[in-house]
Amino acid sequence: MLLFTPGPTPVPEHVRIAMAQKTIHHRTPEFTEIFKDTRERLLNLFGTEECVILASTGTGAMESTVINLCQKKALVINAGKFGGRFAKIARAYNIPVTELCYEWDTPADVDEVIEAIKSDEDIDALFIQICESAGGLRHPVEEIAKEAKKIRDITIVADGITAVGVEPIDVSDIDALIAGSQKALMLPPGLAMVGLSAKAVEKIGNGRGYYFNLASEISKQRTGTTAYTAATTLIIGLGEILKTIEKAGLDNLYRVTAKRAEATREALRAIGLKIYPKTPANAMTAIIDENSEDIRKILKTEFGVNIAGGQDHLKGKIFRINHMGLIEHYEAAWVVNSIELALERIGRRVYDGTANAVFNKIYFG
Ligand SMILES: *Cc1c(COP(=O)(O)O)cnc(C)c1O
């Protein structure tokens, strides 16, 4: 079965093998060496001054940024399940929060966000997804961050869980950039990372919370270890995957991912399907279709392809195809071909290979 869900994504074989070695103790020179090397590579991927690696899923990293980087009031952009999660975290800690809500296919409006910041002096941190995975939507994060910083020194937290490793991200105005293991980084779930600006480190000060106190992690991780038991196996995996990405070249990964995303979108448009978000991200393609569940089922049972459906009010209404990670072009081509075959099965069109022809023309053209 081809795993084409926008997280978890398949783990490359050599990374699985690296993680299958004997467990080593986390307080040893041997592990410290691995940790320091991985941390350097991660800083290079983020393009930030500082970073921390946390043993948690992405949500834990989101929680760490809310409690450590918002001191007065949070402004949350909610255009989907993950945006909404930032607001839920803030409420769980009794942190005042203003939510700007959008339909799940609609990116945040730069002027509206800026207006919200201008009209409330208490807002000291903005939380936004780069790609909102609920609808495969790309928010104009860099533009919002740039304009927001012109108003006052507000902290910008960008959830890049489905963006870091997918596309180059300009971090000039971003203070915290979140990544997770099981999406673009092709690892098993359980590890989260946050890239931090020097300003963010300053604002964190002594930190807040206990397990997710970023100050304790920063000071430990600078010395080559973690505050609590390190997720050694996953960190070894992270080091391996970062080496692989670097070897092929980061720019190359971004270029191929963008091409695969574009080829998939155009192939599916060519067979009459509709892209759901107004501004599609390259991490995944989301299609809005009344036969979404039938298509997913046929893909799974007849063509060996596992794609994701929608969540909450989009359950049964959309399907989502992953583009994150190192994906063989013949697998991606097979996915669009299977969708065309599925449309024939449900009597929507006569199969003529259009999806594959369009995909290949764009991918190899
Ligand atoms: C998957 C995802 C998360 C949540 O990550 P978990 O690892 O499930 O906690 C947060 N934000 C985005 C954009 C995601 O895609």
User: pLDDT at position 204, please?
Assistant: 98
Q: Is there an atom of ligand 1 within 6 Å of 280 CB?
A: no
User: pLDDT at position 262, please?
Assistant: 98
Instruction: Judge residue 210's burial from the number of C-beta atoms within 10 Å of its C-beta, 0-12 exposed, 13-18 middle, 19 or more buried.
Output: exposed
Phi, psi of 180 (to 5 degrees): -130, 155
Q: Is there an atom of ligand 1 within 6 Å of 160 CB?
A: no
| Structure letter (DSSP) for residue 312 | G
User: pLDDT at position 362, please?
Assistant: 98
Return all residues near 345 (Cβ < 8 A) that are at least 6 apart.
Answer: 298, 302
Q: What is the largest CA-CA distance in the chain?
A: 64
Q: Is there an atom of ligand 1 within 6 Å of 159 CB?
A: yes
Q: Give the number of the atom of ligand 1 that is nearest the alpha carbon of residue 132.
A: 13
Coil, strand, or helix at residue 22? coil
Q: Is there an atom of ligand 1 within 6 Å of 239 CB?
A: no
Q: Is 329:363 a contact under the CB 8 Å cutoff?
A: yes
Compute the radius of gyration of the chain from its Cα atoms. 21
Domain spans of the chain?
13-248, 250-363
In this structure, the strands spanning 123-129 and 155-159 are parallel
Q: Ligand 1 center to residue 272 CA distance, Å?
A: 30
User: pLDDT at position 77, please?
Assistant: 98
User: pLDDT at position 272, please?
Assistant: 98
Q: What CATH number has the domain spanning 250-363?
A: 3.90.1150.10
Of 9, 85, 38, 54, nearest in space to 193 by CA: 54
User: pLDDT at position 358, please?
Assistant: 98
Q: Is there an atom of ligand 1 within 6 Å of 162 CB?
A: yes
Q: Ligand 1 center to residue 12 CA distance, Å?
A: 20
Q: Ligand 1 center to residue 82 CA distance, Å?
A: 7
Alpha carbon nearest to ligand 1 atom 12, residue:
161
User: pLDDT at position 200, please?
Assistant: 98
Q: What is the pTM of this model?
A: 0.98
Alpha-carbon span 182 to 130, nearest angstrom: 17
User: pLDDT at position 247, please?
Assistant: 96
Helix (H), strand (E) at residue 217: helix 214-221
Q: Which amino acid is at 237?
A: G
Alpha carbon distances (Å) from 340 to 194, 199, 263, 354, 363: 39, 50, 14, 8, 18
Q: Is 6:162 a contact under the CB 8 Å cutoff?
A: yes
| Residue ranges in the chain whose pLDDT is less than 70 | none
User: pLDDT at position 56, please?
Assistant: 98
Q: Ligand 1 center to residue 182 CA distance, Å?
A: 9
Q: What CATH number has the domain spanning 13-248?
A: 3.40.640.10
Alpha carbon distances (Å) from 138 to 79, 166, 241: 10, 12, 25
Q: Ligand 1 center to residue 361 CA distance, Å?
A: 33
Domains 13-248 and 250-363 fall in the same CATH topology: no
Instruction: Judge residue 251's burial from the number of C-beta atoms within 10 Å of its C-beta, 0-12 exposed, 13-18 middle, 19 or more buried.
Output: exposed
